[in-house]
Structure 1
Amino acid sequence: MLRESPYPMVSVSEATALIMAHVQPLRSEEIDALTALGRVLASDVVSPEDIPDVPKSAMDGYALRAADGLAPRRIVGELTAGGTATVAIAPGEATRIMTGAPMPIGADAMIPVELTEERDGMLYIQRELKPGDYVHSVGQDVRRGQMVLAAGTALGAAEIGLLATLGITRIAAYRQPRVAVLATGDEVVEPGSERPGGAVRDSNRYALMAAIREAGCIPISLGIARDDIDVQRQAILQGLDQADVLITSGGVSMGTRDLIKPLLAELGTVHFGRIAFKPGKPTTFATIGDKLVFGLPGYPVSSLVSFEVFVRPALRALQGDATPFRPQIEVTLAEPVRPSPDRPEYQRIIVRYQEGRLLAVTTGSQSSSRLLSLRGANGLLLVPAGETTYPAGSTLPALLTGQLLL
């Protein structure tokens, strides 16, 4: 008699909805704004001042009165961006001025040096000006009271530069999730250990911890738990005690030594135990108290693809990221793609922008054990289940997981 899983098969969209329904951003904390790369803002940032705070020269040249027209001006001084000299401009006068220097009293325009000629202390200009020409006005870049960064924004170099410009050195950011990773299986050994015949090195735990760091979280290694229910129970409880999220690798299929699902059901609530999804059908999601637990398959590709599709968005949402999901794009197939007959498949692809379109090439064999299929991949092609091959030139949706190639 065939053994059947007690868990109904859910769709990718159902699985995603079940996970996200249990995700709430973690509490916020005050941190140093200038070293907050990758952190997510927990509150809006409002500018405390105008930028610039006074009218400033947009270029190197001369500050003057526009009403003087094309008449020559007498040069009465020089202003630099960091200088302290003060000059007042009367009719028929001009002053040299450098980029970023405050405009002098009486001047309402400036002219770039390349549109001028200076002889014997007099300035000759080649075109008439209007008030405000080549001048950065007060609040032109940022206005006092303007919201410059919204809660949920992930901070990059430009955002940190903006905070520094405004003199904001402390911000409220969501706490980074601590994510514990447990490998399971009697056949699994550390990468640096001697490998007995038939054993496998633990690539999943280290690949997952790298992916966790990339997602902005703090990984915690729980090591390898052998196929013993008491050992694995203790390891799960240890992970839950240290972390906000627990990820296990292996032990979620239908074998007699696959112990993770029964343990999660014993300790908490299993929300789904199978997904109509390839690779990664046995991917499992549970909650134990207020902690999230993901049971990922043991095959390396299944583990990482399942992490990318289901776990990473949850980790980004825990950090308060307003856009936790990878961008979805339409790609053109550079070669025929064969679907899986029974489940939608997320095939590993390399996406390039070529001849005005996004062109996708698969990474070769899509076997769940072939980690090479993820090397260099910057996308996951969403291939619906079916029997008909998609010919070259067809378009399909894809998740962009890395930098777009040109």
Structure 2
Amino acid sequence: MMLEDALRILLASTRPGGWEYVGVDEDLVGRVLAEGLTPSADIPRMHTCAKDGYLVRADDTWPGEALISSECGPGEIVKSLEPREAVVAYSGCLVEDDLAALVPVEEVVVSRGRVAITRRPRALENIIPRGSGARAGDAVLPRGHMVTPLDVELIEMLGRRFVRVYRRPRVAMISVGSEISLEAPGRTTRYVTVKHIVRALGGEAVNMGTVEDSPSAIASVITDSMASADIVVTLGGTGPSAHDVTYLAAESLGPSEIFRGIDVAEAARSCGAVVRGKPLLMLPGPRAPALNGATILLAPVIMASAGSTEGPYRIVHAKLSRRIHMPRRGIVWVRLREDAADPVHPDYYGISPSTADGYLIEGPGDLVGDVKVHVPRFL
């Protein structure tokens, strides 16, 4: 099946699961806004001095000298300026006069209460104009935006103590395999990797433990998981052998949609279904295929369920450092070095994806020259 068709099936069953209020001083980073945030007043609300210096009126009386009339500190206000008047101003001083200009300390000579200015300053020079950050009523952070560390201070500037965010989607994770169900119950390498991807994309990972290679046992855990989770993920049991029965377990649940395998090498054993109106993703067990399946299938589903409108990756344009032959459509992980993309050597069970900055989905054929690198949010 084409990757694009698989995503359409999964995303059609995915939607945000309600919202809640979260305090700005709480765990807000990584949450997705369920409301657009707009300022009630211009930001900044007045012209604001960007550095220390002398406020003067930007008119045609310069160069010349001005009489120092007063001083203005951070948060204090200068309403208007007269010709040849100067006000000692510090960074953060507020100004109402649209013709005000700030001449930096290092450009003037001060003597006996007067300041000498050797050039004509421009209106609002070295001053942050009123409303240059945002205008009252304009959307600053839109609904569907995932909050970053830099956004938190901005939200506080808007005067908000609480904001409405979408509830984190609960992602139930089931590790499949008789070889691990007794040896490492509840914790496998594949589980740890995907769990942190879920968290990085705004989801809440719920460990449902390990289950043996039995269609009835797997189906039972999937059914239990569906009761409380928004998304269910199985890890393992998607290969071609008689012991790989995760797909059969999903099929026995009477899904409304189901697919087996996608047209992307190193993730081709990923499967998916819609069961009881919820997405079920079946990822391979080995680390590299599991990571690839989580990147191209699970990540978009989590972010859509979290309410995000921004997508699970950003695009960076780069040039491949060497030619690659792709016998079929596949994923190539790359390191970014300035404007170059250096392919990472494939490593089915090893650490190679951890050394990459992004990936390509290309092929079949020769790949050379300019490429679009997908940089996942979880890297």
For the superposition of Structure 1 and Structure 2, which TM-score range results when normalised by the shorter chain? 0.7 to 0.9
Contact 1:41-1:155 at 8 Å conserved across structures = yes
Instruction: Tell me how far apart the structure 2 counterparts of residues 280 and 361 of structure 1 sit (CA, whole Å).
Output: 18
Match of 1:256 among 228, 242, 249: 242
Matched AA of 2:4:
S
Q: CA deviation at 1:223?
A: 1.2
Change (3 A) 1:100 1:288: same
Farther off after superposition, 15-24 or 111-120: 15-24
Change beyond 3 A, Cα 1:358–1:402: farther
Deviation at 1:150, TM superposition (A): 1.4
Q: Does 1:15 align with 2:10?
A: no
- For the aligned residue pairs, the C-alpha RMSD in angstroms reads 2.8
Does the C-alpha gap of structure 1 residues 206 and 140 become closer, same or farther in structure 2, counting only changes over 3 Å?
closer
Read off the aligned partner of 2:66 and give its amino acid letter. R
- Return the letter of the residue paired with 1:215: L
SS at match of 1:145: coil
Segments of 5+ residues of structure 2 without an aligned counterpart are: none
Q: Once the two structures are superposed, what CA deviation does each residue of 1:193-238 show, in whole Å capped at 9, x if it has no partner?
A: 8xxxxxxx83111111121112221111111111234432332122
Letter in 2 for 1:11: M
2:19 counterpart (8, 15, 28): 28
Bigger-Rg structure (1/2): 1
1:187 counterpart (165, 172, 179): 179
- Per-residue CA deviations over 1:125-152 (Å, capped at 9, x if unaligned) read 1112354443333323222112111112
Distance 1:136 1:330, change over 3 A: closer
**Residue 220 of structure 2: aligned partner:** 234
Q: TM-score, normalised by structure 1?
A: 0.83
Corresponding residue for 1:385?
364
SS for the counterpart of 1:188 is helix
1:267 match: secondary structure: coil
Q: Which residue number corresponds to residue 5 of structure 1?
A: none
**Counterpart position of 1:278:** 265
SS at match of 2:41: coil
Distance 2:363 2:80 in 1: 72
What is the number of equivalent residue pairs in this alignment? 375
Cα shift at 1:251: 1.8
Instruction: Note the C-alpha offset of 1:396.
Output: 4.7
Q: Which one of 74, 80, 94 corresponds to residue 67 of structure 2? A: 74
Aligned-partner SS, 1:41: coil
- 1:220 is aligned, of 190, 206, 221, to 206
Distance 1:102-1:329 versus aligned 2 partners, 3 A rule: closer
In structure 1, C-alpha distance between the alignment counterparts of 2:363 and 2:225, rounded to whole Å:
36
2:374 counterpart of 1:399 = yes
Name the aligned partner's letter for residue 46 of structure 1.
T
> Cα deviations across residues 19-44 of structure 1 (Å, max 9, x unaligned)?
22222233222222344211122222
Tell me if 1:347 matches 2:336: no
Amino acid at match of 1:137: P
Kindly provide the amino acid, as one letter, of the partner of residue 13 in structure 2: H
Counterpart in the other structure of 1:53: 45
Answering whether residue 36 of structure 2 is matched by residue 44 of structure 1, we say yes
2:310 is matched by which residue type in structure 1?
A: T
- Looking at structure 2, the residues matched to 66 and 373 of structure 1 have their Cα atoms a distance apart, in angstroms, of 60
User: Residue 267 and residue 79 in structure 1: after superposition, are their counterparts in 2 closer, same or farther (change >3 A)?
Assistant: same
Give yes or no for contact 1:382–1:396 (8 Å, CA) kept in 2: no
User: For residue 49 of structure 1, what is the amino acid of its counterpart?
Assistant: A
Q: Residue 6 of structure 1 aligns with which residue?
A: none
Q: Which residue of 1 aligns with 2:288?
A: 301
- Identity of aligned pairs, percent? 22
Decide whether the 8 Å contact of 1:350 with 1:360 is kept in 2: yes
User: Given that residues 152 and 322 in structure 1 are in contact (C-alpha distance below 8 angstroms), is that contact kept between their aligned partners in structure 2?
Assistant: yes
Q: Which amino acid aligns with 2:219?
A: R
1:128 pairs with 2:107: no
Structure 1 residues 165 and 271: CA distance shift in structure 2, 3 A:
same
14-23 or 67-76: bigger deviation: 67-76
CA distance in 2, matches of 1:101, 1:52: 11
Q: How many angstroms apart in 2 are the aligned matches of 1:330 and 1:134?
A: 35
Matched residue of 1:148: which SS?
Answer: coil
2: CA distance, partners of 1:277 / 1:239: 28
Please give the alpha-carbon distance, in whole angstroms, between the structure 1 residues aligned to 2:98 and 2:111: 23
Superposed CA deviations along residues 41-72 of structure 1, whole A, max 9, x for unmatched, are 22221111112223332321122334443342
CA contact (8 A) 1:89 1:106 kept: no
Post-superposition shift, 1:191?
7.6
Separation of aligned partners in 2, 1:107 and 1:323: 41
1:376 aligns with 355
Give runs of aligned pairs for residues 310-321 of structure 1, distance below 5 A. Answer: 310-321=297-308
Closer, same or farther: CA 323–106 of 1 in aligned 2, 3 Å: closer
Q: Distance in 2 between matches of 1:381 and 1:97?
A: 53
Render the CA deviation track for 1:86-141: whole Å, top value 9, x for unaligned: 79755543221111112388983332222211111122111123544433333232
TM-score by length of 2: 0.88
Whole-angstrom CA distance in 2 between matches of 1:88 and 1:16: 60
The answer to whether the Cα contact below 8 Å between 2:314 and 2:377 also exists between their aligned partners in 1 is no
Which residue in the other structure is 1:198 paired with?
Answer: none
**Is contact 1:183-1:225 (8 Å) kept?**
yes
Q: What is the SS of the residue equivalent to 2:227? A: helix
Q: In the TM superposition, what is the alpha-carbon distance from 1:192 to its structure 2 partner?
A: 6.6
Q: Which runs of 5+ in 1 are unaligned?
A: 1-9, 194-200
Q: 2:311 aligns with which of 324, 344, 352?
A: 324
Is the contact made by 2:200 and 2:377 (CA closer than 8 Å) also made in structure 1? no
Distance 1:278 1:113, change over 3 A: same
